[in-house]
Structure 1
Amino acid sequence: MKNNRLIKSVRYILLSIFLIFVTVEAYLHQVLGGRKSPSIHALCPYGELESMYSLVFNGTFIQKIFSGTFILLMLTLILAIVFRRSFCGLICPFGALQEFFGVLGKKLFKKRFVMNKNIDKPLRYLKYIILVVTLYYAWITAGLWVNPYDPWAAYGHISSGFSSLKEEYPIGFMILILILIGSLLYDRFFCKYLCPIGALYGIISKFSLTKITRDKDRCINCNLCSKNCPVNINVSELSEINSSECINCNLCMIACPSDKVLDIKTAGKSVKPLTNIILVISIFLGGIMITKATGLYEVTPPKITASTRITADEIKGYMTLEEISVAFKIELNELYERLQIPASIPKDTPLKEIKNFIPGFEVETVRELLR
């Protein structure tokens, strides 16, 4: 039991670290800009899934997506193949946020609620519909179509202030609030009903090398495994847990008071819960570190130099006036004249912040004037 508490603590520590890391990066992105800190889209595997069509047919990533996002997607798909939806249960920051709200909800209401089966079952299919719809529109528009409705994107922009949220993510922010309220009542509310990337991992995990088995003869039928499952799988009634909902969180095994009743098997071999966690994290972080060391992992745009060539359509809001001057080989004073802005605006001003000097000024204006 002592070892089980250790495993549970390790898991919560890992989830906390990933949530804090992404939250800090999202804050720094708002403060320092996209050149110095990645956007929350660049750190989300789903962003690359949305960019896949453009990458395959055009050889380019869509806006806010980089090679590092592609690597994150590949690593999480590998995890899904080998260790089921481990990314969801051990790494995902949004999953962590829901779990911590769940802990708060349990303290507030003294229990966790379970959705009525007649409502729960059809709602589970909603995430698959969201997966298809968001990918379809992302691919035909060659952009992050779901962005205004994305609760995770809204979370990443909280530090930009309520007025910015109201302007850029009114729907996404409302969905975020609903998800957090739902998480106070129900475990992993977003994961179970709305998460599109979770839907994809779930499909892949049906063919995963990892399974959880239950020894019926050793089981004392205490039902603690089912009660502690955050995605409400009836573990105590199954001999093999092969549900696409399983997020490989190991909480059922941690809750089990009997030895050798529940067993994680990867490629037919038993794996201890702590070993399972270590392997998952090693593959994920190891993959990032290796690709980063080789220069393949990038989640921020490259620095603009004299050799940089970009088109007007590739102009981004985080780019400064000076960078535009360098990229388009235009003298600064000429650039100011063409953009019809006063010379008093500092040259290191990001384009998206020019509106602070000239109300109503949009980045699209720069694109139009430099075409």
Structure 2
Amino acid sequence: MKKISPELLRDSIQCAMTLFCIWVGYRFYLFYQWMIGNSDVAVTKPGAVEGFLPISSLLSLKQLFTKGIFDEVHPAGLTIFIAVLVMSLIMRKGFCGYLCPVGFIHNLLNKIGRKIGKTVTVKGKIEFGMLIPKYIALAFFVITVFKMGGRELQAFIRSPYNFTAEAKMMLFFTDMSITAALVVGTILALGIFIPYFWCRFLCPYGALLGILAKVSPIAIKREEDKCISCGKCNKACPGGIEVDRKQTINSPECVGCTQCINACPVDGCLNVTDRLSRVKLPWYVIAAGSLVILLVYYAAAKFTNHWDSPYPLEMLRKYYMMM
């Protein structure tokens, strides 16, 4: 029986999550078609589709902290958002490393780039400059949200625009303009030549999770006395981290994918470690822990009725018809 490697585990989980997201998107498409009268087949709205609305969830999180109100417009979205934030605080950027479908797409693009031998290594000042845009975007969203007053915040959350946010997201891809298609196509093309281009340099969601992951008790540690400086860990790292120059890999770009461990030819040189107790952990703990956290939050939300929106479908249908 073939031993499960970090690469195989990551590819398998990413593929499964991407297929799940495709299924969720298809189910929501059927739901939308039924709601606007293009289909007679009644379909239940899949709550997981709200996971694609992190900005709306950020607004809902502020409402939760300031007013103690759990969002009823997109409750599943807020649940997923909180789960991902907690995941990052405990399991580093496990969401980016294992659960995000965009990460899976860029993983495939990177494999294509390596296959044709056309990948470009971005380092030094160029890398630093390219990292800035995602933090600017993150700062813009965070500052905008936290500058909003209570009335303004609740007005947006209960607005027709927010009620139909997932439908607008779907239509962006199903009825994509030429300009949008060119932008998306360019990002995908760059992902072939520059490993994980969107994830590393443009994603504000990943930037937020990277900042939170800095306090995670879990990190990969390098045993300096065992390292042979072969550089294979550096080449395998999707975050472009120079693993062989660090004792503890605590960079905000580390997604905890353990591909460096997979590439290392020296047994025991790189280990997933609890930084507090210095105890070495199984290499798969980040993947397993991330999945457990997501499932626990989902189960808790379903049990406490914080997953499905209580608003009547006729109200939502009215807003859909106004789009």
Q: Provide the TM-score with structure 2 as the length reference.
A: 0.80
- Superimposed CA distance per residue, residues 305-326 of structure 1 (whole angstroms, 9 cap, x where no aligned partner): xxxxxxxxxxxxxx5xxx25xx
Runs of 4+ in 1 over 6 A off after TM superposition: 152-155
CA RMSD of aligned residues (A): 3.2
Between 241-250 and 266-275, the greater mean CA deviation after superposition:
266-275
CA distance in 2, matches of 1:262, 1:6: 14
CA distance in 1, matches of 2:167, 2:126: 28
- The counterpart of 1:120, out of the listed 102, 122, 127, is 127
The aligned residue for residue 107 of structure 2 is 99
Question: Which of 1 and 2 has higher RCO (CA within 8 Å, sep 6+)?
Answer: 2
1:28 and 2:27 matched: yes
- Superimposed CA distance per residue, residues 90-148 of structure 1 (whole angstroms, 9 cap, x where no aligned partner): 111221122122223333x324222253321122122111011123345536459xx9x
For residue 59 of structure 1, report the CA deviation from its aligned partner: 5.7
For residue 350 of structure 1, report the CA deviation from its aligned partner: 3.8
CA distance in 1, matches of 2:91, 2:193: 28
Q: Using the aligned pairs only, state the percent identity.
A: 24
> Which sections of structure 2, spanning at least 5 residues, go unmatched?
36-43
1:78 and 2:86 matched: yes
- The counterpart of 2:264, out of the listed 236, 249, 256, is 256
Alignment of 1:302-321 (within 5 A): 302=310, 304=312, 319=313
Secondary structure of 2:109's counterpart equals helix
The aligned residue for residue 283 of structure 1 is 293
CA distance in 1, matches of 2:251, 2:55: 22
For residue 16 of structure 1, report the CA deviation from its aligned partner: 0.9
Secondary structure of 1:125's counterpart equals helix
2:201 alignment partner AA: Y
Change (3 A) 1:59 1:40: same
1:19 and 2:18 matched: yes
CA distance in 2, matches of 1:171, 1:296: 41
1:201 alignment partner AA: L
1:177 and 2:185 matched: yes
> Which sections of structure 1, spanning at least 5 residues, go unmatched?
305-318, 325-348, 355-361, 364-371
- The counterpart of 1:213, out of the listed 211, 221, 240, is 221
CA distance in 2, matches of 1:21, 1:66: 19
Change (3 A) 1:38 1:291: closer
Check conservation: 2:214, 2:252, Cα contact below 8 A: yes
The aligned residue for residue 51 of structure 1 is 60
- Larger helix share, 1 or 2: 2
Higher Cα Rg, which structure? 1
Alignment of 1:177-196 (within 5 A): 177-196=185-204
The aligned residue for residue 312 of structure 1 is none
1:225 alignment partner AA: C
Change (3 A) 1:62 1:138: farther
The aligned residue for residue 358 of structure 1 is none
Secondary structure of 1:273's counterpart equals coil
For residue 242 of structure 1, report the CA deviation from its aligned partner: 1.3
CA distance in 2, matches of 1:44, 1:76: 13
Alignment of 1:278-357 (within 5 A): 278-292=288-302, 294-298=303-307, 300-302=308-310, 304=312, 319=313, 323-324=314-315, 350-351=317-318, 354=321
Secondary structure of 2:220's counterpart equals strand
CA distance in 2, matches of 1:23, 1:15: 12
CA distance in 1, matches of 2:183, 2:142: 19
CA distance in 2, matches of 1:350, 1:216: 61
- The counterpart of 1:37, out of the listed 37, 46, 65, is 46
Check conservation: 2:223, 2:268, Cα contact below 8 A: yes
The aligned residue for residue 66 of structure 1 is 74
Change (3 A) 1:182 1:176: same
Change (3 A) 1:290 1:54: closer
Paired residues, number: 299
CA distance in 2, matches of 1:100, 1:291: 33
Change (3 A) 1:208 1:171: farther
